Amino acid sequence: MKALVYKGPRDVVINNVPDAKIEKPTDVLVKITTSNICGSDLHMYEGRTSVEAGKILGHENLGIVIEAGSAVERVKVGDRVCLPFNISCGFCENCERGQTAFCLIANPGNAGAAYGYAEMGPYSGGQAEYLRVPYADFNCLVLPPDAEEKENDYVMLSDIFPTGYHATELAGVKPGDSVVIYGAGPVGLMAAHSALIKGAAKVMVVDMHEDRLALAEKIGAIPINKVDESCVDEVLKLTNGRGADCGCECVGYQCHDHPGHEVPNLTMNNLVKSVKATGGIGVVGVFMPEDPGASDELAKQGKLAFDFGTFFTKGQRMGTGQANVKAYNRKLMHLIQQGKANPSFIVSHELPLDKAAEGYASFDAREEGWTKVVLKTGA
């Protein structure tokens, strides 16, 4: 089958690889129709992880079940399914409590498993023609009849819509709240969409890319095009000097050769300063235990210094981590079905799988207008 394979930093190619196949009776095999490129793929693409050459990337996957293992009962051949990026068993202590991003079985000894990702288990990704889906009865979200028509909406249920929603849950966003979101990438825009769906009164989005901020404005958020400390004054001005009720970090480590991305802890410092005393903070931007490509020594060891004193003095709360996609994807699917959520507004480019390498290069370079790339297999 054809698949997008990681070869080295900023080097991904379409190769012919052995077909994905059922390996356990609880697996299904999915023919991929859409697989997105994610900001999380850029951590690998930019060479800042230990991902091995030859890994098939792609964790935002949607497709059609073409074969089911002998122990699969709920999912049927022909079902159109969206796959949470987290691979989870459904029966360990963490999965039992809905913490499927931290499954203790799918990636023993490590926190959580995912398709096509560094240090998240031996699983191949879905930027390919076929994908093996483990624990299929638990992991497959079977989509409604309008699945084909709204494929670019439903595919966002694999990761970034639930992740943006998770950021607002960690931050404790309630109706009427003011919310500041750092990052107008796909995840930040999904956090803004989620906060507005929840009934936030005022949503402010901070970034340095006009094209992405324009999308934030289009859905009813207030864009702030300042990423140095002056964005804090802007948020204070917009919240009568008290700071936002809640804040979300949707940036994470950025490649330090992108302009303005040199200081990895800037967003955390700005967050604690721009959120009110006792306010809630949700951090879904990825910070890794090691970041060999980082520009300073502490960041290389994954040690992130931020203004903890302000965080303590203001009595703020903070939640972090990968999103438990399964905790939200069914409810968010219903919102899409009812026309109350339309996460596909971020899609800027639909490319055939063959053009994936170009998609990576342009998305990574933050070329104007490249907000979210969806790869169409078979196109």
Interface with ligand NAD (CB under 6 A): 38-40, 42-43, 159-160, 163, 182-188, 206-209, 212, 227, 250-252, 254, 260-261, 266-267, 284-286, 322-323
d(CA 261, CA 364): 13
Q: Which residue number, 55 or 209, has a Cβ lying nearer to ligand NAD?
A: 209
Distance of closest approach, residue 225 Cβ to ligand NAD, in angstroms: 10
Distance of closest approach, residue 83 Cβ to ligand NAD, in angstroms: 14
Which of 132, 200, 213, 128 shows the shortest CA–CA distance to 169? Answer: 200
> Which range of residues in 35-43, 282-290, 317-325, 353-361 is near Zn ion by CB under 5 A?
35-43
CB 377 within 8 A of CB 351: no
CB 157 within 8 A of CB 334: no
Which pair of tokens denotes residue 264? 């990895």
Which residue shows structure tokens 């069914």? 330
Q: Which residue number, 58 or 69, has a Cβ lying nearer to ligand NAD?
A: 58
User: Pick from ligand NAD, Zn ion, none: which does 95 bind, CB < 5 to 8 A by kind?
Assistant: none
Q: Tell me if 38 contacts Zn ion by CB under 5 A.
A: yes
Query: What mask, x for binding Zn ion by CB under 5 A, covers residues 44 to 83?
Result: ----------------x-----------------------
Write the CA distances from 344 to 152, 156, 201, 211, integer angstroms.
5, 7, 23, 16
User: Pick from Zn ion, ligand NAD, none: which does 252 bind, CB < 5 to 8 A by kind?
Assistant: ligand NAD
Q: Which residue number, 38 or 341, has a Cβ lying nearer to ligand NAD?
A: 38
Sign of the C-alpha dihedral computed for residues 331, 333, 336 and 338 taken in this order: negative
CB 107 within 8 A of CB 120: yes
Q: Which residue number, 4 or 160, has a Cβ lying nearer to ligand NAD?
A: 160
Per CB under 5 A, the list member of 129, 159, 177, 245 interacting with Zn ion is 159
d(CA 272, CA 243): 9
Q: Which residue number, 72 or 373, has a Cβ lying nearer to Zn ion?
A: 373
Distance of closest approach, residue 59 Cβ to Zn ion, in angstroms: 5
Per CB under 5 A, the list member of 40, 274, 316, 348 interacting with Zn ion is 40
Distance of closest approach, residue 119 Cβ to ligand NAD, in angstroms: 13
Q: Tell me if 373 contacts Zn ion by CB under 5 A.
A: no
Distance of closest approach, residue 317 Cβ to Zn ion, in angstroms: 25
Count of residues interacting with Zn ion (CB under 5 A): 4
User: Pick from ligand NAD, Zn ion, none: which does 374 bind, CB < 5 to 8 A by kind?
Assistant: none
Q: Which residue number, 130 or 182, has a Cβ lying nearer to ligand NAD?
A: 182
Q: Which residue number, 33 or 36, has a Cβ lying nearer to Zn ion?
A: 36
Which pair of tokens denotes residue 162? 């639930």
Q: Tell me if 204 contacts Zn ion by CB under 5 A.
A: no
Q: Which residue number, 260 or 352, has a Cβ lying nearer to ligand NAD?
A: 260
Cα 144 to the chain's mean position, in Å? Answer: 23
Distance of closest approach, residue 231 Cβ to ligand NAD, in angstroms: 7
Q: Which residue number, 46 or 60, has a Cβ lying nearer to Zn ion?
A: 60
d(CA 174, CA 172): 6
Distance of closest approach, residue 237 Cβ to ligand NAD, in angstroms: 17
Distance of closest approach, residue 85 Cβ to ligand NAD, in angstroms: 7
Distance of closest approach, residue 199 Cβ to Zn ion, in angstroms: 26
Q: Under the rule (CB under 5 A), what is the footprint of Zn ion?
A: 38, 40, 60, 159
